[in-house]
Amino acid sequence: METRTALVTGAAQGLGQEFAVALAARGYRVAGLDLAPQPETAAKILDYVELVGDVTDETQIGEGLERLIDRFGTLHVVVNNAGIYPAKPFEETTAEDWRRIMRVNLEAPFLVTRAALPYLKAAGWGRIVNIASAAVFSAPPTMVPYIASKAGLIGFTRALAGALAPYGITANAIAPGMVRTPTTERTSGADGGFEDVRAGQAVRRTPEPPDLVSTLLYVVDEGSDFLTGQTLNVSGGSTYL
């Protein structure tokens, strides 16, 4: 069996970095696409392609994929992890806020997946993994655009599964709870967000990025061909559900 190749968006830190390192440890050749440089991620992976680019820009996505194929020759797994989640009262949300969140959280997975599809089809086997959010199910009122974007991503995943099944490509979503990452600590940790979310979980601790790794590896596993169109809710048994 040929060595599999994976692309992870938002790989500079947090969940994306954890996913990239975990896939490399499983034997994948890995490339990361992020708006920011990825020196920490690259330092943890022996054979890594660092692609600095905007996941909402078709040209930059295409150029990044060309570099990946030049280096590795093939592509099998796409993890659409890049995302933003600003919290703001709905009345204060501007049209530009809405468009920016939709571009990054929903349009970018579409653009990356569409650009990667010819390479996945050529490989004859593939996995699309979209990182949604368990917040879709609890729907906090200060994150209306974010919830809408992630709900759209779940719908995109379900429809994509049927569209890509004839090519041996699955599409699934992972919906984490509030994971402790540099971004969530900066945007939500200071005002008690972790404590509020943790109080509604059966597992009374804040998840760390490694808590999502086993789910990712299950979804991309060779034996998971019959798993597609699903959203795996990894939220510590949230009592909101």
What tens digit of pLDDT does each residue of 20-46 get? Answer: 999 999 999 999 999 999 999 999 999
**pLDDT tens-place string over residues 75-125:** 999 999 999 988 889 999 999 999 999 999 999 999 999 999 999 999 999
Residue 33 CA to residue 191 CA, distance in Å, equals 31
Q: To which residue do tokens 């200071």 refer?
A: 190
pLDDT band at 208 (very low <50, low <70, confident <90, very high): confident
% of the chain at pLDDT higher than 70: 89
Helix axes 14-25, 213-220, angle to 10 degrees: 50
At residue 181, the 3 state secondary structure works out as coil
pLDDT band at 241 (very low <50, low <70, confident <90, very high): very low
Active-site residue numbers? 146
pTM of the model: 0.92
| Lowest-pLDDT choice from 172-186, 203-217, 221-235 | 172-186
Residues 3/27, Cβ–Cβ less than 8 Å: yes
* DSSP letter for each residue of 3-64: PPEEEEESTTSHHHHHHHHHHHHTT-EEEEEESS--HHHHHH-SSEEEEE--TT-HHHHHHH
Q: Which residue has the higher pLDDT, 139 or 221?
A: 221
Query: What's the pLDDT at 132?
Result: 97
